[in-house]
Structure 1
Amino acid sequence: MAAKKGSSHDIRKVTIDNLPETVENFHILLKTKLGLEGDLVVQYQDPEFDNELCNLSSISELPKEKATLKVYTKTFTTYNTDSTLDTASLSSSLEEGTSGGQTRQLPQPFVIPAFSFDVELKLKQGNEAYHRDGSLLDISKDMKSDILEKLAEAMYVHNPYPTRDEYDCVAQALINKHPCLKEPGSVNGWYCWKFSLKFKMGNFRQRLRVAGCPELKVNTRTSSQTGSKKLKRAKKSEVNFLPGFPEGKTQHDLDIERSVLVSEMKKRKVDWRQIDEMMYNTFSLRRKEIVEDEPLVAQVKERWPALFSERQVKCIFVVVLLFIFVLNFACTPQAEFARLTSVDLKGSLFAGLDQYLERFLELYKTKSGIAGLTRLIKCLDDDSSTQRKRTVLLLGLPHFLKEDPSHIFKTVEPTDIEDMFTKGMKVGIVMVKEEDFIDVLVVLEEAVILSNLRDVPSAISMLMGLLFALNIDYPKELKYTFEVIQKVLMNIGGRQCSSLVHGLRNRLLRKTM
């Protein structure tokens, strides 16, 4: 085995005499030979589907003579508010709560933290008395404050703005662990704890807001403000919604670096390595502008042109039996999405599409009364490739959810004028076609933001990346369509979803589990 060091690419030479029977054992073999850790994602070029990359789900899917694989571990460097570099392990699993990294939901069940020594001692004695004779602990004001303070700190780590259900979850977990704290006048024993915790959480946020926490300071009210103010907080399970500036850096310093970045993007031969580094360094400034100022997309594109770039991922490889690649995302929506959510943009969407693909198509076929779904299903008669199935799944989603697909998808001819077909389109995908697709475009605020995309699934992934990166709300007319894409297919924030989407996911899992 040979490895190239000191490069952005980790290039290995590997020989495997006998392939294992299962994919799991194949992953273990690759980890052993390559010295890799964490979850692996293995994709192969399928000659039957024009060498499109497909996730490897069975060893029998590999071509007989020679297999071209793309193997990567879902690890990358995340942006932290204390300006240190750390690595977050990302999992491609779509199981509940395994999306990797920090999330914007509280863990379930919620783990009650340890309190101060004297409080823990009193709780131990109180719990023993409760189990002995059912007596409840008479707690002092200071003891209750200490308990609530620790709970607020533990909750803030996961979500600065917990939901009503999450407050319920924490209050119940407290009583389950320390039954001596039950309220004698409450049916469930935790009702007042819930409301006390909400007040304590508000006070805790206020202290951090005064201390200068960016994500909380952005919601500070001033005397000049009148009426209600829109609360600016993470809505799509973003992990790094509004990070602070790196240590030792001011807004002026970062703006100078932004100017250098803009100048570099204007060059004929762009230094992408430098662009990647500067985009990473200026992430906090970019989020501050987008979240606080809420600029138009055109203004963001003017100030941050690299955010909208689409460049080819190039890799050098050595051939024996396998081609091993390490993904190197540029400063595209993919990289920004990863900084925000700790999730791989395309990987999470494509994994979800492949997991639920057949089940979705089965459900589509049962809706024979919906003309749009019927037409899409018939498209599979001529081409039943994985890529076509993914496209049909996404195009059929608004139809299936009884939403108007014209609010997101539009088909035009190559000769159509751009200003005409983008008019009135705030968020959408435009497919330019004659007999087949020749181009797919991403439109935001009546302007083409990205073009030359290969297919609809790739365009959807880029659209999701831009909506996260630019802090744009989902269109109200398509709220269920985008909720399914985010929370079911990409498994981001999937614990909290509407009853309609929750029911759909249950129908999907009944078949796939």
Structure 2
Amino acid sequence: MKTKLGLEGDLVVQYQDPDFDNELCTLSSMSELPKDKATLKVYTKACESKHKDSTLYTASLSSSSLKRGPCGRQSRQLPHTFVIPAFSFDVQYVLRQGNEAYHKDGTLLNISKYMKSNILEKLAEAIYSRNPYPGREVYDHVAQALINKHPCLKEPGSVHGWYCWKFSLKFKMGNFRQKLRVAGCTELRLNSHSSGRPGPKTLKRARKSEVNFLPNFPEGKAQSDLDMDRSTMVIKIEKRKLDSKQIGEMMNVTFPLRRKEIVEEKTLVAQVKERWPALFAERQIEAEFARLTTFDLKGSLFSGLDQHLQRFLELFKVKSGTVGLTRLTRLLDDDSSTCKKRSALLLGLPHYLKEDPLCLFKTVEATDKEDVWTDGMNVGIVMVKEGEDITDVSVVLEEAVILSDLKDLPSAVAMLMGLLFALNIDYPKELKYTFEVIQKVLMNIGGGQCSSLVHGLRNRLLRKSM
């Protein structure tokens, strides 16, 4: 499609699924297409970031998508080009005059305390609407955008002209969060060091770069209202003819209640499955992931796998002394399909990072009992083998099969990541680097801050030669 249409960059391809009233769904395999006729829509990655609808049950892209998530906050990452908001009328007037003077003779504006406070307040609001806990790179990005739009605000003696703006903005964000915390914002209240709860040690902020980690209830909705919606949804999902679109809409409405139960009460997976059975379907896992992060679950993982595939396999071959990596690379000599390469990359990650792959991946015989598959496995993937063929791939959480009949290993890893986010489950300590690479390198979520080991690996991946 790239060649035919003359397009560059990453693409997102969707098709009208006849099983879901011709709703647009992300295409991950050609086998999903209808046999008679297929209607496709193609988006570039830039288009995806602008139009992704985190509220639809398909997590599909749409130009008519809703602008806000279930908590009323915008469910989007900070845009690549940050748009500086409009300040108060008097501040805008002074800035306009200051910019004219700067372009004329390079004069820098001497701003008052009131003016600086107004600028920082508006910037803090704009940042918070997308991410309440921005990283260092966000402050750099916004400070640069401010100076680019209003060069009269440059700092004399500063190399880049925005160094102090960055730190002032960081302090202003802290004050802004404190005001919202006092006003009763749920996520900020729980993360407060003065709340009297053990929150800072057990909950803390969104640790996996979630955008909607713990939203407030929608305006006009109480907990009892949302619980009634949940009960109605449980009844509907037991019906023989399932209205998937309606279930998706109800899942979106009840999202704040679900997050409250999962995050605050630390509910066991079995209990969550009993109260929220709709959450444990592939489409709903993808939709929940989109609500939390604004990212396309399968799309982001598969795109990252394909981007780094060749380079990872080269790195694997260099470590020929590692038995597991040698075996994986040899298997590709017989079958070098894209799915096999993706699987080899994922299976090889723990070996390459010197972590135990058996803690994450397990291969069992079809004749084995299920309790043998899951024994001792809190987070992992089980591949069921019959002869030489893999007949089933399942996701295991808390020693129980949560999702089965997955078509391949990459899809299972995507579903596992989606469930870890949706159920607020920490990555296993013995596999912390493997999951960090999957999230921050392959899926490119929260990659601005990573461990030194993962940062070094990313640098090696970006080098053209060994």
| TM-score w.r.t. length of structure 2 | 0.78
Contact 2:137 2:448 in 1 (8 A): no
Structure 1 counterpart of 2:40, from 44, 57, 71:
71
Contact 1:79 1:240 in 2 (8 A): no
For residues 438-497 of structure 1, the C-alpha deviation after alignment (integer angstroms, 9 at most, x for no partner) is 222211122221122222111111101101111222223323322332233333334444
Determine the structure 1 residue equivalent to 2:413. 460
Check if 1:352 corresponds to 2:324.
Answer: no
Over 3 Å counting, the alpha-carbon distance change for 1:23 and 1:215 in structure 2 is farther
Determine the structure 2 residue equivalent to 1:439. 392
Over 3 Å counting, the alpha-carbon distance change for 1:168 and 1:351 in structure 2 is closer
Determine the structure 1 residue equivalent to 2:21. none
Alignment of 1:4-15 (within 5 A): none
Alignment of 1:91-110 (within 5 A): 103-104=76-77, 106-108=78-80, 110=82
1:300 to partner: Cα distance: 0.9
1:281 to partner: Cα distance: 2.4
Task: Tell me the secondary structure at the aligned position of residue 334 of structure 2.
Answer: coil
1:395 to partner: Cα distance: 0.6
Give the aligned residue type for 1:216.
Answer: L
1:252 to partner: Cα distance: 0.6
Determine the structure 1 residue equivalent to 2:316. 364
Determine the structure 2 residue equivalent to 1:383. 335
Contact 1:41 1:71 in 2 (8 A): no
Contact 2:75 2:291 in 1 (8 A): no
Over 3 Å counting, the alpha-carbon distance change for 1:86 and 1:250 in structure 2 is farther
Give the aligned residue type for 1:459.
Answer: A
Check if 1:142 corresponds to 2:110.
Answer: no
Structure 1 counterpart of 2:65, from 61, 71, 87:
87
Contact 1:301 1:307 in 2 (8 A): yes
Aligned-partner Cα distance in 1 for 2:184–2:378: 35
Contact 2:324 2:351 in 1 (8 A): yes
Alignment of 1:30-429 (within 5 A): 45=30, 71-72=40-41, 77-79=53-55, 87=65, 103-104=76-77, 106-108=78-80, 110-127=82-99, 136-175=108-147, 177-183=149-155, 190-220=162-192, 224-225=196-197, 228-267=200-239, 270-309=242-281, 329=283, 331=284, 333-429=285-381
1:366 to partner: Cα distance: 2.2
Contact 2:300 2:443 in 1 (8 A): yes
Over 3 Å counting, the alpha-carbon distance change for 1:250 and 1:354 in structure 2 is same
1:145 to partner: Cα distance: 1.2
Matched positions, count: 431
1:254 to partner: Cα distance: 1.2
Q: Which has the larger radius of gyration?
A: 1
Aligned-partner Cα distance in 2 for 1:511–1:211: 52
Q: Name the structure where helix makes up a greater proportion of residues.
A: 2
1:176 to partner: Cα distance: 5.1
Check if 1:492 corresponds to 2:450.
Answer: no
Task: Tell me the secondary structure at the aligned position of residue 396 of structure 1.
Answer: helix
1:216 to partner: Cα distance: 2.7
Aligned-partner Cα distance in 1 for 2:89–2:364: 69
| TM-score w.r.t. length of structure 1 | 0.72
Aligned-partner Cα distance in 2 for 1:141–1:380: 64
Contact 1:40 1:71 in 2 (8 A): no
1:147 to partner: Cα distance: 1.7
Aligned-partner Cα distance in 1 for 2:38–2:314: 30
1:197 to partner: Cα distance: 2.2
For residues 294-326 of structure 1, the C-alpha deviation after alignment (integer angstroms, 9 at most, x for no partner) is 21212211211111135xxxxxxxxxxxxxxxx
Task: Tell me the secondary structure at the aligned position of residue 359 of structure 1.
Answer: helix
Return 5+ residue gaps in structure 2 as ranges. 17-23, 44-50, 57-62, 68-73
Check if 1:481 corresponds to 2:434.
Answer: yes
Aligned-partner Cα distance in 2 for 1:293–1:367: 44
Over 3 Å counting, the alpha-carbon distance change for 1:281 and 1:111 in structure 2 is closer
Sequence identity of aligned pairs in percent?
Answer: 68
Aligned-CA RMSD value: 3.8
Return 5+ residue gaps in structure 1 as ranges. 1-19, 46-51, 55-65, 90-100, 311-328
Task: Tell me the secondary structure at the aligned position of residue 238 of structure 1.
Answer: coil
Over 3 Å counting, the alpha-carbon distance change for 1:223 and 1:467 in structure 2 is closer
For residues 155-207 of structure 1, the C-alpha deviation after alignment (integer angstroms, 9 at most, x for no partner) is 21232112234334434444455454455676765454333322221221122
For residues 5-61 of structure 1, the C-alpha deviation after alignment (integer angstroms, 9 at most, x for no partner) is xxxxxxxxxxxxxxx99332699xxx9xx9xxxx9977774xxxxxx569xxxxxxx
Contact 1:348 1:490 in 2 (8 A): yes
Task: Tell me the secondary structure at the aligned position of residue 246 of structure 1.
Answer: coil
Determine the structure 2 residue equivalent to 1:16. none
Which one is further off, 285-294 or 134-143? 134-143
